Structure 1
Amino acid sequence: MKDQNWNSYRVDAPIKLSERSTSFDFGLSNDDLKDELKSIRRKLGKFQDTLYAHGKYGVLICLQGMDTAGKDSLIREVFKDFNVRGVEVHSFKVPTEKELKHDYLWRHYIALPERGKFSVFNRTHYENVLVTKVHPEYILGENIPGIDSVESINEEFWERRYRQINDFERHVAENGTLIFKFYLHLSKEEQRKRLLRRIHLKEKNWKFSPGDLKERKLWDNYQECYEEAINKTSNSNAPWYVIPADNKKAARCIVAHILFDALKKYKDIDEPELDDKIKANLDSFKKELEKE
């Protein structure tokens, strides 16, 4: 996979999701894809150790996609070789009562990665221009001044949100957070198969919710909202990548390769040098320990 152009998945100009493929496998078997992922995630794991020791950058990984797109399994498989101290996963669900007492970005600010660590957002601040745009009545629960009815949630409101999100990402990027945003692009037919699998397999039943079918009926609405959000918020400091997600194993490989390919370009991320005095006395420290 050395000749792959990983930037081809990056959104650098307006796109139409309907024109983007949802399936790609590099012509590799499932076993080959597993081996490929094992190889690249080891490299990512080593990079994470260096990032942790370096201690100046944090890495924020944002995952979005329709239900069953494979976000959970991607997190499990791609970050398997990370030191557990160096990566934190945050799953953002319906805002709590406390979270609703703050602006919608507050809970995301406090989950940002510390310097030297990775944070993975499983669903992200983009829910605030996706699910809430499909269901604008949810906005009323935020108690925003001047927003007293669904009718007052107009295009100006959404444009303001896109601006706020861009400002938020630019601010954290300028202060040392490297941002990667991945949209797992799933076909409607593949989602149907995966929902059926949740029903057919007893061990998967717990994942199924009738609400999944209600949201599925709004598929086209969600696709429009995703397309608009991606086009309005893919920037050089926080790019979106559209990942074909019908093949989970290939999607994991693509995400892992994109991350490593981009991160290895930061030549200033290196393990710190020991203090000269300590370095000069390493032999004496070694002898001291060997005498015990």
Structure 2
Amino acid sequence: MKISTEQFRVKPKDQVKLTKSPTLVDPFYRSKEEYRELLNEQIERMSALQGLLYANNSWSILLIFQAMDAAGKDSMIKHVLSGINPQGCEVYSFKHPSAEELDHDFLWRSMRRLPERGRIGIFNRSYYEEVLIVRVHAEILAGENLPDALAARKGIWRDRFRSMADLEAHLTRNGTRIVKFFLHVSKEEQRKRFLERIDNPEKNWKFDRGDIEERKLWKRYMDAYEECLNATSTKESPWYVVPADDKKNARLIVAQVLLDLLEGLKMKYPEVSEERREELQRIRQELAKG
């Protein structure tokens, strides 16, 4: 069964309202068994396409995941990309910038982690934090050592949106396909997942008191996400608002988006010249003789 993901894509002229965007939709599976069957089928196809991506060595893929705490980014990456060859895939989680990173522009540290040709790069959080958490917490912007005249600009967020869009357009023109996912979880579902992290000793390590403080800023974050999604979703590097209250359903949606992207590249294995074929046949004859 092919899952239709177009309903979750943010079109360039859309004006997303997250309060009206569902965090839960009718599932694409009818049982846990069917879910596993569907996901395994997607993973198997992705694995084959990744091998083709690597052999083709022309395109690269960048997947960006953004979300509120406990939306399921880590488990999403773990489950959806479980069949991907680690040699052709790299995951980066961007934490608080280092002193060296703060001495460069806000895109610098992400540029250093972009995927090579033939590979899949995954950003667990990304440069988009610069218009999300930095926007909500003014003290972080103050610590980035920008000239006062620039830091105080009313259009600083608009300028950053433009920088991000320009970067993604440049990467697209040079063979990197970018897809961005906002895992849209409800405030109530987040509350339940926080409680689970407290009640389950094996998940205690995931919980941080700061998560509760961030939760108090929910509306400010939603406002920041809305403006970000509307300003930076393009035809070439779209955002998908993925209903994430049901983790299984969210995984099926993300896996289908990636499959559609890989299949859309219409890749072929490199052609071998006649001279090379003759050489391989000579080598084969030598091997066959023992």
TM-score by length of 2: 0.96
Alpha-carbon deviations, 1:211-259, whole Å to 9, x = none? 0000001111111100110000000111000000011111111000011
Q: CA deviation at 1:262?
A: 2.5
Matches within 5 A, 1:56-75: 56-75=58-77
Alpha-carbon deviations, 1:81-111, whole Å to 9, x = none? 1111110000001001111111110011111
8 Å Cα contact 1:140/1:147 also seen in 2: no
Matches within 5 A, 1:227-242: 227-242=226-241
Taking the aligned partners of 1:70 and 1:153, their CA distance within structure 2 comes to: 35
Taking the aligned partners of 1:215 and 1:47, their CA distance within structure 2 comes to: 39
2:110 is aligned, of 96, 108, 111, to: 108
Moved more, 257-266 or 121-130: 257-266
Taking the aligned partners of 2:33 and 2:97, their CA distance within structure 1 comes to: 40
Q: CA deviation at 1:284?
A: 2.5
Runs of 5+ consecutive residues of structure 2 not aligned to the other structure: none
**Match in the other structure for 1:285:** 283
Q: CA deviation at 1:7?
A: 1.4
8 Å Cα contact 2:29/2:35 also seen in 1: no
Aligned residue type for 2:194: L
Taking the aligned partners of 2:233 and 2:152, their CA distance within structure 1 comes to: 23
**Match in the other structure for 1:188:** 187
**Match in the other structure for 1:270:** 268
8 Å Cα contact 2:65/2:183 also seen in 1: yes
Runs of 5+ consecutive residues of structure 1 not aligned to the other structure: none
Q: CA deviation at 1:278?
A: 1.7
Task: Name the % identity.
Answer: 45
Q: CA deviation at 1:147?
A: 4.8
Alpha-carbon deviations, 1:4-59, whole Å to 9, x = none? 42211110022111111111322522221122111101111111110111111110
Aligned residue type for 1:207: K
TM-score by length of 1: 0.95
Alpha-carbon deviations, 1:94-137, whole Å to 9, x = none? 00111111111001111111000000000011000000010011
**Match in the other structure for 1:211:** 210
The alignment yields a C-alpha RMSD, in angstroms, of: 1.3
**Match in the other structure for 2:128:** 126
Q: List, as ranges, runs of 4+ consecutive aligned residues in structure 1 with deviation greater than 2 Å.
A: 152-155, 280-284
